[in-house]
């Protein structure tokens, strides 16, 4: 009986609730999570009701993407500012290096900086022009996307639904469109301002780089002019004849060359100052070769043999000794008549002879080499025959000098340059490491003695 009464009560209460739902309406209140916007539907569990349309979702996503794009552009601008600061610091270092080099030049320091010529701009970041192009493309893309959104808003359905369940067309809310325009306008203004700044920085950087290049080239030109002046001053001896040729090594590539050649001669006198301590043998102080005869005139001390004079490859041994490391003046005379020769050392005649290539004229148009014996005209030297020491005052005449003239040359009481080959700086070339240096032979000889 009790169970029957409970069942009747249940049926009566169910009908009452259904009648209320059919004739009236109920309001259900749910809690809004903290920080949520009022007016938006939330379920009983506090989750937001997903009642938005696809158009609103697309707009929401577009706004989010625009925000991300703005943040990315801000990061790009900050990065470009850092790039500009880095470029300015590099330019400052380059200018400081150029100033230091200019100061060193004014103090007479002819040395270059060891790091000069190093590419300090090799680690430059991306060209600002590329960044400007990228920002412009981004701007055009954002404009295109906004225009597409406005066109879609005119033809896509809204989220309102009529009583019959049919969707009604409605335009995009003007507030949202205005917000998008304002955001895009602000971004465009910011981008244009940054583009103008980058263009100005680029122009300044180009001008500063051009100015720095001009200063660098000017400094280099000044340095080269100074080096040329120093080289000229080194070659500008006190007098054209006051110099020596140094041949410090026994090799086949150190030598000097007389620019002038010889005419046809029927007699000659050759005099020179030389200094050598080479052993065995001082080598070849000089040689004269002509086409067809490399040993037209040669003075040589080879190995343990005495000094020899060769004329047309004929040999005469000379009683000279000059390998004591001191300066000595030697003169050799020869005449085609009977092949008569004389040998002088320090003004004293130490030997004579005849029958050395008698009646042979010295052929013209050959090459005079200092310090090497020629196997062909002007070359094919043998290191074992090279002269090791110093030479000066190599003069040659087309006649036999008198003994008094030779004595005057030896004791520095007379100056008589050769009428065929005079000893002057402009007439002597050096090669392979041979060098020319200032020398006043009479003063140096007096110091040696």
| DSSP string across 147-203 | HHHHHHHHHSEEEEE-TTS-EEE-PPPHHHHHHHHHHHHHHHHHHHHHHHHHHHHHH
Tokens representing 419 are: 């009428």
- Measure CA of the first residue to CA of the last residue in the chain; give whole Å: 159
Residue (of 424, 418, 435, 407) closest to 330 by Cα position: 407
Q: Which residues of 277-297 are buried (b: 16+ CB within 10 A; e: fewer)?
A: ebeebbbbbbbbbbeebbbbb
The pLDDT value recorded for residue 26 is 52
The pLDDT value recorded for residue 187 is 80
Residue (of 199, 78, 66, 186) closest to 138 by Cα position: 66
Residue (of 158, 150, 151) closest to 184 by Cα position: 150
- Contacts by residues 229-237 (CB-CB < 8 Å, ≥ 24 positions apart): 230/110, 235/425, 235/436, 237/425, 237/438
Distance CA 105, CA 217 (A): 14
Distance CA 212, CA 107 (A): 21
Using alpha carbons only, give the angle 61, 182, 136 rounded to the nearest 5 degrees.
Answer: 80
The pLDDT value recorded for residue 334 is 96
Distance CA 330, CA 347 (A): 7
Per DSSP, 337 falls in state T
Secondary structure element (H or E) that encloses residue 235, with its range: helix 174-235
| The CATH number of domain 243-438, selected from 1.10.260.40, 3.40.109.10, 2.60.120.200, 3.30.465.10 | 2.60.120.200
Per DSSP, 64 falls in state H
3-class DSSP assignment, residue 99: helix
Provide CB contacts within 8 A for 408, sequence distance 6+: 414, 416
Per DSSP, 259 falls in state S
**For the chain, how many residues are written?**
449
C-alpha 229 chain-centroid distance: 24
Average pLDDT, 10 consecutive residues per value, the chain (449 residues): 49 44 49 54 48 71 80 76 72 69 53 41 52 70 68 52 42 70 80 84 83 81 71 61 89 92 95 87 92 93 89 94 90 95 95 94 94 91 91 95 94 90 92 87 63
The pLDDT value recorded for residue 182 is 79
Cβ–Cβ under 8 Å, residues 122 and 87: no
pTM of the model: 0.49
């Amino acid at each position: 009986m009790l169970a029957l009464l409970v069942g009747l009560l249940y049926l009566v209460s169910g009908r009452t609730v259904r009648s209320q739902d059919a004739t009236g309406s109920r309001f259900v209140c749910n809690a809004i999570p903290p920080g949520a916007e009022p007016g938006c539907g939330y379920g009983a569990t506090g989750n937001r009701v997903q009642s938005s349309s696809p158009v609103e979702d697309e707009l929401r996503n577009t706004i989010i993407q625009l925000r991300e794009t703005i943040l990315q552009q801000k990061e790009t601008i900050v990065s470009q500012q850092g790039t500009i600061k880095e470029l300015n610091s590099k330019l400052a270092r380059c200018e400081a290096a150029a100033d230091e080099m200019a100061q060193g030049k004014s103090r007479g320091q002819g040395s270059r900086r060891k790091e000069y010529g190093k590419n300090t701009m090799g680690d430059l970041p991306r060209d600002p022009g590329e960044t400007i192009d990228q920002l412009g493309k981004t701007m055009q893309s954002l404009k295109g996307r906004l225009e597409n959104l406005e066109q879609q808003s005119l033809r896509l359905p809204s989220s309102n639904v009529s009583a019959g369940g049919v969707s009604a067309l409605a335009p995009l809310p003007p507030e949202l469109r205005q917000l998008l325009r304002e955001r895009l306008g602000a971004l465009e203004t910011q981008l244009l301002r940054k583009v103008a700044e980058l263009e100005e920085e680029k122009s300044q950087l180009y001008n500063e780089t051009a100015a720095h290049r001009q200063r660098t080239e000017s400094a280099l030109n000044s340095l080269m002019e100074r080096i040329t002046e120093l080289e000229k001053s080194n070659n500008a001896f006190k007098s054209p004849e006051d110099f020596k040729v140094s041949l410090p090594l026994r090799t086949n590539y150190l030598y000097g060359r007389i620019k002038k050649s010889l005419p046809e001669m029927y007699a000659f006198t050759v005099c020179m100052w030389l200094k050598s301590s080479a052993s065995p043998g001082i080598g070849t102080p000089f040689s004269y070769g002509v086409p067809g005869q490399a040993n037209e005139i040669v003075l040589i001390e080879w190995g343990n043999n005495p000094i020899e004079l060769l004329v047309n490859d004929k040999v005469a041994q000379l009683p000279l000794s000059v390998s004591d490391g001191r300066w000595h003046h030697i003169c050799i005379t020869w005449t085609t008549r009977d092949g008569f020769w004389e040998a002088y050392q320090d003004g004293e005649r130490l030997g004579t002879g005849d029958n050395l290539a008698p009646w042979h004229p010295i052929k013209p148009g050959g090459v005079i080499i200092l310090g090497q014996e020629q196997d062909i005209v002007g070359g094919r030297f043998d290191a074992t025959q090279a002269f090791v020491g110093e030479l000066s005052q190599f003069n040659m005449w087309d006649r036999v000098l008198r003994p008094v003239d030779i004595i005057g040359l030896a004791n520095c009481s007379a100056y008589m340059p050769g009428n065929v080959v005079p000893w002057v700086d402009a007439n002597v070339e050096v090669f392979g490491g041979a060098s020319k240096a200032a020398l006043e032979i009479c003063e140096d000889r007096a110091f040696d003695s």
